[in-house]
Structure 1
Amino acid sequence: MVDMRMFRDEVTRWAGGGTGGSARELTEPLGVHTVVLLEGLSDLAAVEALAERRRRDLAAEGVCVLSMGGAMSVGRYAARLGPSGLGLRLVGLCDEREKPFFDRGLAPDSTPRHAVFVCSADLEDELIRALGPERVEEIVHAEDESRPWHTFLQQPAQHGRPRHQQLRRFMSTRKGRKIRYGRLLVEALAPEQVPAPLNDLFTCL
């Protein structure tokens, strides 16, 4: 039985230099019409968590949510999935500093600018601001990370920094931590707290 994970894996292999035949063969059976291009796995975790909260089965809707492993890859994915490839609709979510990669990589005639949603710094920053640093610290403690969090705060580089910046940096200090908190922070949001770029992404799907 084919599923969206198979399509996602085949597209990733194709972008890495594979032939792309399997991805083409899977597009129609799965009803894929839209691909959401994300920079990394923490963004993927957040988007999947919000889909679950909103009871949306994106795969059943024909939407593939894809982590590219970095914004610099957007051109390769767009060439394979957009008008010159599979002819799919492309939607992006990116950090502010990575927007130029999306602007260059996505064909403006087929992917209007409003289909790329930009976080003011990055998605973690948006989520921390939405929840507030105090609530995020509660989540850190609930995850049994009080000790590493307090050790982190003792580092000279963190002295005097705003709390939301400290929290954002903390989430990047251990492999897999950003991914875990990407999901946890979304799960903690009230419906009205969902950051605009993430909410707008879902509105357009």
Structure 2
Amino acid sequence: MDLRRGLTDAAGLDAATVVLVEGDSDRRAIETVARRHGRSLHGVAVVPMGGVTNVRHFVELFRGRRLAGLYDAAEEGYVRRALTDGGFDAARSSAGLADLGFHACRADLEDELIRALGTGAVEQLVEAVGDLRSFRLFQRQPAQRDRPLARQLHRFIGTRAGRKSHYATLLADALDPAQTPPPLDRLLARL
């Protein structure tokens, strides 16, 4: 998704609360987990930004609305600067970001989902959708052989166009609500 198209699509939204996320896979995971929790997202728009570096544009677009979001911990600086520059002085610290409704995922949301489910359950899911043979071939690649299973699964999920979004939904749907990763759980509690 390019920035112009993302902003154009988002500009017509009339939701009172806007959840900013990096991409479509994050949107799908949030919507799926909310459904699994029995939570309505009525009045909430989950908006993929096409990457965290676009956050400033979306903060400006949705000025005056209640904002929240998920971000990768390594990208916190982008989120903090965009919110601070947008008039959210509380965004100057990680705790302030959380108070505003912005929560950090360790690596990313898929990593959080894999950790919450456990690698055994994720492998079973990969098998159930018919991707186990492809995954086993992927594991034999020299760059993957020495990686931990969780990292292999994470990388495999992101290797093909559309796979990341597809698996984000599958992983989120496989979660028992009690397994919800902390950043996602905290985000849903704010909505």
Q: TM-score, normalised by structure 1?
A: 0.82
Aligned partner letter, 2:44: V
The aligned counterpart of 2:78 is 101
Deviations for 1:92-135, whole angstroms, at most 9, x for unmatched residues?
10111111111011132376411210001111111111111011
1:72-111 aligned at under 5 Å gives the runs: 72-82=53-63, 87-107=64-84, 108-109=88-89
Structure 1 residue 10 displacement after superposition: 8.8
Structure 1 residue 72 displacement after superposition: 0.6
Distance 1:155 1:11 in 2: 35
Aligned partner letter, 2:132: S
The aligned counterpart of 2:16 is 33
The higher radius of gyration belongs to 1
Residue 157 of structure 1 aligns to a residue whose secondary structure is coil
1:1-205 aligned at under 5 Å gives the runs: 12-13=7-8, 23=12, 27=14, 32-58=15-41, 60=42, 62-82=43-63, 87-107=64-84, 108-109=88-89, 112-114=96-98, 115-205=101-191
Aligned CA-pair RMSD: 1.9
1:127·1:186 contact (CA, 8 Å) conserved in 2?
Answer: yes
Compared with structure 1, are the counterparts of its residues 75 and 139 closer, same or farther at alpha carbon in structure 2 (3 Å cutoff)? Answer: same
Deviations for 1:130-173, whole angstroms, at most 9, x for unmatched residues?
11101100000000011111110110011121100000000011
Aligned partner letter, 1:13: T
1:89·1:110 contact (CA, 8 Å) conserved in 2?
Answer: no
Deviations for 1:33-82, whole angstroms, at most 9, x for unmatched residues?
21000000110110010121122221x2x111100110011000101112
Compared with structure 1, are the counterparts of its residues 149 and 56 closer, same or farther at alpha carbon in structure 2 (3 Å cutoff)? Answer: same
Q: TM-score, normalised by structure 2?
A: 0.87
Compared with structure 1, are the counterparts of its residues 55 and 42 closer, same or farther at alpha carbon in structure 2 (3 Å cutoff)? Answer: same
Report how many aligned residue pairs link the two structures: 179
The aligned counterpart of 1:3 is none
Distance 1:191 1:74 in 2: 29
2:114·2:122 contact (CA, 8 Å) conserved in 1?
Answer: yes
